[in-house]
Structure 1
């Protein structure tokens, strides 16, 4: 039996609006620009160039109510077991705000506060130890979140240590990171909840042997015993918990590298920005709730309009890693085809998310956005006030940001079909007053909450990721054969490829 179709109330509106253009919607709905804009703290958002009208938006808002989105957020914050397949809560919000009620949420907030206190002490200890470089070793959420924030907040680095990131099991990545570093002045942080992640342990062993000193090894893990067995003293192990998924963990001690880069005060400001978005998502009604509107827009584009991809286009080089980070957040969370009770979903779920930083991306894939056969909805992200003094550059950047969104929406007709732009390509505009720890925290939390709201609307679990396990298991089974120590693979294609690899090896 298939789960109920959440898009059914939207399809009549999609058919009604099939021939409508964004420019027509703007002209026919006085007040649309102001009605479809809202501000939350340092973020201004505009949905005016989405392809829905007031009636369709009202249907979307009703859909949020019928799906129980407000109650689902209350359950998330209160520590209910929203991750049904693993029978546990998802309390990343407790890492930055104390908005949950009940013992589970309060206990999580207390544990998070204690971990921050320990992390602050380790930050001071490491930063004053003579170490000049720190390598964060992790993969997935243990890498993408800290890497994004450290890079985005480069203007706030306090200069005490330089941060580097090592993720890929490919040994060339380790060689690249270590090149030019002095092992006597380098420390490593190994980030793995279970302390059994293959990539992290292999890279950790490379660094451990290269450092030739366990005194400069640190870890973030839920498995202190394994970290100690690896050579990390217990007082240099910061905690992780099973109620925080990796892609939601940068707010925890996984953010150790962030705090080393910008200091604990700035790290706290990052948390405060996220907490501001947390309070908003709990308190604002769906029609005035930024993450919920963002989620409803995603559902409209995916299910009502049938658009299979989503572009994220930050017009600030400091946010160049945001599309990579959001790929995991969105596609690992929403890449599900069954409901928690095992029923097939009735509609398409996750879009393929991709993107790049403007203006570079304009000279890369924007040709396809403007004139390709597929319509790609986009999130444009701009920063009003830069951290540099190059006013002409920033004016050019903002003009390109505004122009691209306008061109995608309105298009341009030419007598030469090759020079015509069809337009009517929807986008959301997100403007940050400035790129600060607070605004970055709010932006990331907005996307987290949008993803959760989408999962509620689609009736799927945003917090498990069983889809990544099969390949890992097969890789573990194949490793002995690749090393020439085990039986041949059963799969004939794999067996032939392995034989080809071995023929080419010395």
Structure 2
């Protein structure tokens, strides 16, 4: 990828001037001036998704300049580089090929002169065979009983993605119960152990390196618990499986080689749900549905790869986000899925966006002079409406929001879904247009004088939103939606000239934690730590000893 400072491009400087011209324009005025605004600013994907970005503070000129910015940053070339397996993760000298995991074409993809599709398809077949064995009751625990519970042990992408998908697709869930242990807090593992019976449970240890401290700490505890229960380490082979790229460490841990499901160093953790790290998904909804999830993502991959930029959904959403973050200086973006099954989507996207683009050094090794990742937050609707939507409507922050809803619910209860849809539409409308009784001709002071009892009800509107409407939440449509957000993140990283596929900031905290843990039982000198860390550590020791 080319390393271009976006602020030095012609388009960026034009956007600065353009922002001064339109920053005070209200969204309702944009609709008043163009009765075809919705049609011009929405894109239908296949026959099950529409993305409406018309309720944004953008004009035709805004989009033209943003698209020119993408071209000046050679976005199209970068997209081709990623799909071709070039080493775009330069700080780790790796390709970025999670898209290959869902490649359903006959096209070969080469990494280091090896066609990786053969390996991927081999691993998919292994997932298919194993998941069918477990679901059909033919995989037995150490006492000969069929499996009823799956425990996925992993953190970060080895937890957030699989958990989010299994929750979002609960309507497709089979009889197996899936649990997730991620936190190193002992409460996490304790609560799961209360719900399961070892005789009918299998454990999936998900860690690409098979060295992640939180995951291995929980895995070792579970192994010890299993051996105590069975009094025979050999029974581990009935119950323990590894999802990793380090077979040597997995075998050393005690996992049978045949029980290792591989994924590769060109799969980033936060993109690993498409790999064997998504085994818990396949076990929860069946391999056929897992394959549909991959197919849906592949469909969006093809849209991203082949659509012209002006009709490319991930590109448009990425550019609009850059517009707000760098010109309106917004700090956050909110995600509101109006579907209870999709409650974990905001948490999943927090990692996808902030771990990818939360960087302050550009690809040239220089400190950036522009904003990179926004802070991502959100909640499923309509709960948020009775919590923090007050701030969105009348607060002092500008918060771009994504609203997501299916047209068809998996659970048709009375007129609930019609009311849910009404709230979805009402919130995006009221955020954009504000109070119906607000005067367009009078300033706030005049309004306050004439309507003293109504002034506290005034909602000014002009709050931007994207609306994503899906026909139904299915494995296929969910796959497309998740791939859409992945490619949005990639697009932002390319244009903002940062590396989206490493996470060195995460590693710093890990190294400090390891050092503190090794010294926690020792007498520590004042020179070892700052006074705050030392003071808290000493209080911990004092209180624990009482």
Task: Give the TM interval when normalised to the shorter protein.
Answer: over 0.9
Counterpart-to-counterpart distance in 2, 1:218 and 1:102 = 28
Runs of at least 5 residues in structure 1 that lack an aligned partner in the other structure: none
Matches within 5 A, 1:393-408: 393-408=416-431
Corresponding residue number in structure 1 for 2:172: 156
Q: Tell me if the contact between 1:240 and 1:252 (Cα under 8 Å) persists in the aligned partners.
A: yes
1:386–1:394 contact (8 Å) kept in structure 2? yes
2:293 corresponds, among 270, 284, 307, to 270
1:111 is matched with: 119
Which of 72, 81, 92 aligns to 1:66? It is: 72
Tell me which residue corresponds to 2:89: 83
Is this contact kept in 2: 1:153–1:318, CA < 8 A?
A: yes
* Alignment counterpart, residue 160 of structure 2, candidates 110, 124, 144: 144
| Deviating more after overlay: 201-210 vs 484-493 | 484-493
Distance in 1 between the 2:104 and 2:341 partners? 30
Aligned partner of 1:354 in structure 2 is 377
The structural deviation recorded for 1:234 is 0.6
Residues 1:29 and 2:37 are matched in the alignment:
no
1:222 shift after superposition: 0.7
Report the alpha carbon displacement of residue 313 of structure 1 after superposing the two structures with TM.
Answer: 0.5
SS in 2 for 1:501: helix
2:464 corresponds to: 426
C-alpha distance in 2 between matches for 1:454 and 1:372:
27
Tell me whether 1:96 sits opposite 2:102 in the alignment: yes
SS in 2 for 1:505: helix
List per-residue Cα deviations over 1:195-219 (Å, max 9, x = no partner).
1100001111122122334120011
- Write out aligned runs for 1:249-328 (5 A): 249-328=272-351
Deviations 1:255-281 (A, max 9, x none): 100000011100000000000000101
CA shift digits 1:384-443 (9 cap, x unpaired): 001122140001100000000011111113833221112100000000100000000000
Matched, 1:372 2:395: yes
- Give yes or no for contact 2:355–2:503 (8 Å, CA) kept in 1: yes
CA contact (8 A) 1:135 1:164 kept: yes
Q: Say which SS state the counterpart of residue 91 (structure 2) adopts.
A: helix
Structure 1 residue aligned with 2:253: 230
Larger Rg: 2
Could you tell me how far apart the structure 2 residues matched to 1:298 and 1:391 are? 37
Equivalents in 2 of 1:43, 1:106: separation in Å? 36
TM-score by length of 1: 0.97
In the other structure, the counterpart of 1:176 is: 191
Contact kept in structure 1, 2:335 and 2:376, CA below 8 Å: yes
Task: Give per-residue Cα distances to partners, 1:13-36, cap 9 Å, x unaligned.
Answer: 211111100010011123211011
> Please, what is the CA RMSD of the aligned residues?
1.6
Helix, strand or coil: the match of 2:94? coil
- The C-alpha deviation readout for 1:53-83, integer Å capped at 9, x for no partner, is 0111111111111111111111100001111
Distance 1:72 1:103 in 2: 17
Q: Distance in 2 between matches of 1:437 and 1:184?
A: 31
- Give the secondary structure class of the aligned counterpart of 2:534: helix
Of 199, 205, 212, 2:220 maps to: 205
Q: CA deviation at 1:180?
A: 2.5
Distance 2:200 2:226 in 1: 9
Report the alpha carbon displacement of residue 492 of structure 1 after superposing the two structures with TM.
2.0
Is the Cα contact below 8 Å between 1:480 and 1:486 reproduced in 2? no
Structure 2 Cα separation of the partners of residues 490 and 64 of structure 1:
46
The answer to whether the Cα contact below 8 Å between 1:186 and 1:211 also exists between their aligned partners in 2 is no
Counterpart in 2 of 1:55?
A: 61
Residue 14 of structure 1 pairs with residue 30 of structure 2: no
- Give the deviation of 1:363 after TM superposition: 1.0
Residue of structure 1 in register with 2:444 after alignment: none
Alpha-carbon distance, 1:8 to partner? 2.6
Structure 1 runs of 4+ aligned residues shifted over 6 Å read none
Deviation (angstroms), 1:9: 2.7
Instruction: Say whether the 8 Å CA contact 1:133–1:181 is kept in structure 2.
Output: yes
The one of 271, 276, 297 aligned to 1:248: 271
Report the CA distance between 1:93 and its aligned residue: 0.3
User: Post-superposition shift, 1:123?
Assistant: 1.4
Query: Using the alignment, how far apart are the partners of 2:518 and 2:132 within structure 1?
Result: 43
Residue by residue, what CA displacement relative to the aligned partner does 1:86-128 show, whole Å, maximum 9, x if unpaired? 1111000000015776632972222211111111122133332
